């Protein structure tokens, strides 16, 4: 009998690829959706793999208790990939913090009560980063972002506090369920559907010409397919229990992303701007306030632990960017 895995947030960009990767490896998968969107998920996954009757659904919302006990019942593992977006006011820290923190605890309460073997939770590399990216340093999983730093943007604070809450929950728990967290960088790569494209929207804006210039920001680009792979490696490796793993890829300036699109895509890349926006213009624009702290970023993350413990190796950032762009073009949204 195949092992069973619950993937939270099956309609999401990362969640969809996790489902496809698990099915390809022979697992049975149940995924949570907030509404009845089963066919959309089935159609997206079917672009990569035949589910062959091994995909089922549960209705559960990270902002409510209902449905979680039923969702985890009978599961061997949980990949907690979903992350709520919070309220309408993204500048209100609590609007982001409460749903992310409470959602993680809901999943863990249900998983531990059901005796799930391991929960792998998606966090973010910016939970293991210095408050300012200006330091010329390479940091690893032993560093925790300081959530009390007043300069932190709400998103970084919410991700840090949500992961902290998960580890605090497990510290007070005495039972067989294990926790592992994955800390990805900027997630690019091909899309499964046009409804949810996540951070790939950056590439879409470049291709459509709506990004008229490129800020001086560097990204540690990880391919969504490699991100799904590391989740499964962390789920199955005995050495991964109780560990954090950075899953960042190659550091790439956004200008180099734009240049790769311009150089490789011919007519499809004609609208891509390769003009860099001056830092002062970015800082003066209220709409860019959240990215301003990362201007000229020098800090990097080390993925030595993921390589050594899990045998994980991400593909080159340029490959991921181009595969991402080609999938957007093929689906008519770029």
Kindly list the strands in the beta sheet with 178-184, ordered across the sheet, starting from the edge strand earlier in the chain: 55-59, 28-33, 4-7, 77-80, 118-122, 178-184, 244-247
How far apart CA 232 and CA 244 sit, in angstroms, is 14
How far apart CA 82 and CA 8 sit, in angstroms, is 5
CB 102 within 8 A of CB 62: yes
CB 62 within 8 A of CB 82: yes
Six-digit token string for 129: 């980063």
Active site (annotated) includes residue 159: yes
Sign for the CA dihedral angle at 69, 75, 77, 79 comes to negative
For the chain, the helix, strand and coil percentages under 3-state DSSP, each to the nearest 5:
45, 15, 40
Catalytic residue among 73, 159, 262, 305: 159
Phi, psi of 217, rounded to the nearest 5 degrees: -125, 140
CB 141 within 8 A of CB 183: yes
Over its C-alpha atoms, the chain yields an Rg (Å, rounded) of: 19
Burial status of residue 150 (CB atoms within 10 A of its CB: 0-12, 13-18, 19 or more): exposed
3-state secondary structure of 249: coil
CB 301 within 8 A of CB 129: yes
Six-digit token string for 63: 């902002």
CA angle 291, 123, 298 (to 5 degrees): 40
Quick one: how far is CA 262 from the chain centroid? 26
Distance separating the N- and C-terminal Cα atoms of the chain: 43
Q: Give catalytic residue positions.
A: 159
């Amino acid at each position: 009998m195949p092992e069973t895995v619950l993937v939270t947030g099956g309609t999401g960009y990362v969640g969809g690829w996790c489902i496809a990767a698990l099915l390809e490896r022979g697992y049975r998968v149940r995924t949570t959706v907030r509404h009845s969107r089963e066919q959309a998920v089935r159609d997206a996954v079917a672009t990569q793999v035949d589910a062959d009757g091994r995909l089922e659904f549960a209705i559960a919302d990270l902002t409510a208790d209902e449905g979680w006990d039923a969702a985890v019942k009978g599961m061997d593992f949980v990949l907690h990939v979903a992350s709520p977006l919070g309220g309408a006011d993204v500048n209100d820290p609590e609007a982001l913090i409460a749903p992310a923190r409470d959602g993680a605890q809901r999943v863990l309460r249900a998983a531990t009560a059901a005796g799930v073997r391991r929960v792998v939770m998606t966090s973010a590399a910016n939970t293991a980063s210095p408050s300012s990216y200006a330091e010329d340093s390479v940091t690893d999983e032993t560093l925790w972002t300081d959530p009390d730093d007043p300069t932190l943007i709400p998103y970084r604070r919410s991700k840090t506090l949500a992961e902290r809450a998960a580890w605090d929950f497990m510290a007070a728990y005495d039972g067989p369920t294990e926790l592992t967290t994955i800390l990805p960088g900027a997630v690019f790569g091909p899309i499964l559907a046009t409804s949810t494209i996540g951070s790939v929207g950056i590439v879409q804006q470049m291709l459509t010409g709506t990004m008229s210039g490129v800020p001086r920001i560097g990204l540690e680009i990880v391919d969504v397919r490699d991100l799904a792979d590391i989740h499964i490696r962390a789920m199955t490796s005995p050495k991964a229990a109780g560990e954090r793993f950075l899953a960042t890829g190659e550091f790439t300036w956004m200008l180099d992303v734009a240049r790769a699109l311009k150089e490789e895509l011919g007519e499809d890349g004609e609208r891509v701007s390769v003009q860099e926006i001056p830092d002062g213009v970015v800082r003066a624009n209220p709409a860019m306030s959240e990215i301003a702290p990362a201007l000229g970023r020098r800090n990097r993350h080390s993925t030595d632990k993921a390589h050594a413990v899990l045998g994980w190796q991400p593909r080159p950032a340029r490959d991921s960017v181009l595969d991402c762009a080609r999938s957007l073009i093929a689906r008519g949204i770029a």
